[in-house]
Amino acid sequence: MELKTKIIEDSLYVKIVGELDHHTSEDIRNQVDSLLTSNNLKNLIFDLSQMNFMDSSGVGMFMGRYKKIKSKNGIPIMINIHNSNRRLLQMSGLFNIYNEYANLNKALIAIRGEDDE
C-alpha cells in the first residue's frame, strides 16, 4: 500500500494505491489524521482510482475520517471509484455520507461552491 497526499487550499487529497485492509488501515488513519490536524484542513478527498481491494477495516477507516471531517463542518469526498469497490461502498452506507465526484476537478468545484458549467 502506498499513500499519495497533497494539500489543495483547505483540503487534503489522499490517493490510496493498493489494498486497504486490516494491515494498512491503521497506517492510513494515522497519516491522514496527522496531516488534517497539523495543517488545520477542513475537507478530505479520497481518490480511489488505484485502490484495488478493501475490507471491513477500510470501511471503519473511512467512517472515522468522516466523523473527523464533519466535526470541522468540512466535506468528505470520494473520487475515481472503480466498479470493483463500488458494491462494498454502497452496502456499507459510505455513499450515504461521502459525496462522490467523477474526478478531482469536479470535487474542487463543489468544495468552492462554483458552478460546474
* Residue pLDDT, tens place only, 40-64: 999 999 999 999 999 999 999 999 9
Q: Taking the model in full, what pTM does it have?
A: 0.95
End-to-end CA distance of the chain: 36
Q: What CA–CA distance (Å, rounded) separates 72 from 92?
A: 23
Nearest to 19 by CA among 67, 51, 64, 59: 51
C-alpha cell at 112: 468552492
pLDDT at 84: 84
In the chain, the percentage of residues whose pLDDT exceeds 70 is: 97
CA 51 to chain centre: 11
Domains, the chain? 2-112 (3.30.750.24)
